[in-house]
Copies of this chain bind each other. A is one copy, B any other.
Amino acid sequence: MTTGQSVNSAYGRLESRFRRLSQLSHARAMLQWDHATMMPSGGAQARADALSELSLISHEILTASETAELLEAAQDEKDHLDDWQRANLFEARRDYQSARALPADLVERLSQASMESEMAWRTHRAANDFAAMRPYLENVLALVKEEAAAKAEAFNLSPYDALINDYEPGGSAAKIGALFDELTGFLPDLLGQVIERQAARPQPILPKGPFPIDRQKALQLHVLDMMGFDLSRGRLDESHHPFSGGVPDDIRMTTRFDVDNLMPGIMATIHETGHSLYELGLPKVWRHQPVGRARSMAMHESQSLIMEMQAGRSDQILGVISQLLRTSFGDDPAFQPDNVRTLYRVVKRSLIRVNADEVSYPLHVILRFRLERAMFAGDLTIRDLPGAWSEGMRQLVGISPVDDKDGCLQDIHWPSATFGYFPTYTMGALAAAQLFAAARTQVPQMMDDLGRGDFSSLLGWLRINVHQLGRLLPMDEMLKRATGSGLGVTVFRQHLETRYLGSSM
């Protein structure tokens, strides 16, 4: 099947080539999901070998001279292509250039170094041993700098921007820096105000477990269903770190269950479901082509956060969750609407990003962005990282860690050679606020629908304005069409002020 061009045109043959790459991705996605959820420990080596060979096969297909020739020839057919096909050609060329940018031996060395470093991190973070971790981080950073330099040359960008572009096409440290400066202009103060205000009110009641896992899972599946996730097109399993994987029509989400603490798991699942609904909503006819993929990491995060933070922590949905909790686990005072609202909106200064609330989370991200930028500018070495971390945390969040394990060793990103990714979390939060506000204005009954646990009007709006567009447009253009403006801070700030300092609190 092609999307309209003759299979014999260069463009048509290019689509076949990318279709093959997509099928290889299908295999990798499923093997990775299986690895995290089902695989017996003894299978680790065989799986690593298989995954690495599949990656190599994909890399060879993508970087083959035939791909270059087809890209070239398809370019000449451009007048016969429609907007989608042109956008697809653009994305295909980007994939090709990105893969070609790195010499094979660097890919190999990076993969080896990050695997070792990630393994070392599991040990040394637990042991709070920065000194032992340092050489791994130094090695990884040196290689990532090589990677960045190679990509910078290929794409005519600065090295750090070249990394950012892997996750956020069109993103740059300058644009992100400007947004983040705006955020730091008010967020630390706002954080202080919210904390003061919350301290003055009665503390929420904590639900008392145990809460049987099977009933937690039943509740979460109910939430999935309510959100419009079709359970014949995906699964929900358990893994150490929740994630969304698989392929459209066969989404593999994972969550975690804590028998004593059922609240975070529900929100983790709502978050992952946001990611999954995006994947399920991508344009079906473009499913196996580059233009049919999710727009970017920031856009992906916007789809999880619009569910977890914007809708999920609204009065409406927290009311629905309160009702579900009472139905599943009895009429406990902890499950009353007021208490559920208070529980899910606690704001505090905390050390660990992944547990942070939506007010302080951007400050954690900004710290990492600043440190990455400094590392790539040559202004910060790994040796000086713990000090810079503590100082940055003190300035931004208002507390700083005693231990490196709760400081610069807390995230898996750097040990696994992922630099330039962190900003997308906060860009996603900004975009989520904008999209939700726009949907709310454009679909008047949306909040009432959510109050009944009906996500269809929100989801319908997202389908049209985000999901079905794939990569047809740049992210900023998508946001402008959907919300009237490009990515900015204003709506996010209004959202936080209304929710955490508004009269209803």
Could you tell me which A residues sit within 8 Å of B by CB distance? 19-20, 23-24, 26-27, 30-31, 34, 38-43, 45-47, 49-50, 53-54, 57, 230-235, 246-250
A231, B40: Cβ atoms closer than 8 Å:
yes
Task: Say which residue of B30, B31, B250 sits within 8 Å of A42 (CB atoms).
Answer: B250
- 19 pairs across A/B with beta carbons < 8 Å? A19-B53, A20-B53, A23-B54, A24-B53, A26-B49, A27-B31, A27-B54, A34-B34, A38-B38, A38-B235, A40-B231, A40-B233, A40-B234, A43-B233, A43-B246, A45-B249, A46-B248, A46-B249, A47-B250
The number of times this chain is found in the oligomer is: 2
Specify the chain B residue showing the minimal Cβ separation from A235: B40
CA A50 – CA B248 in complex, angstroms? 13
Enumerate chain B residues within 8 angstroms of A235, measured Cβ to Cβ: 38, 40
Specify the chain B residue showing the minimal Cβ separation from A38: B235
A249, B42: Cβ atoms closer than 8 Å:
yes
CA A24 – CA B27 in complex, angstroms? 9
Query: A106 CB to closest chain B CB, in angstroms?
Result: 21
B54, A232: Cβ atoms closer than 8 Å:
no
Query: A490 CB to closest chain B CB, in angstroms?
Result: 40
Enumerate chain B residues within 8 angstroms of A38, measured Cβ to Cβ: 38, 235
Query: A41 CB to closest chain B CB, in angstroms?
Result: 5
Enumerate chain B residues within 8 angstroms of A250, measured Cβ to Cβ: 39-40, 42-43, 46-47
CA A246 – CA B47 in complex, angstroms? 11
Enumerate chain B residues within 8 angstroms of A247, measured Cβ to Cβ: 43, 46
Enumerate chain B residues within 8 angstroms of A231, measured Cβ to Cβ: 40
A27, B50: Cβ atoms closer than 8 Å:
yes
CA A231 – CA B39 in complex, angstroms? 11
Specify the chain B residue showing the minimal Cβ separation from A41: B232
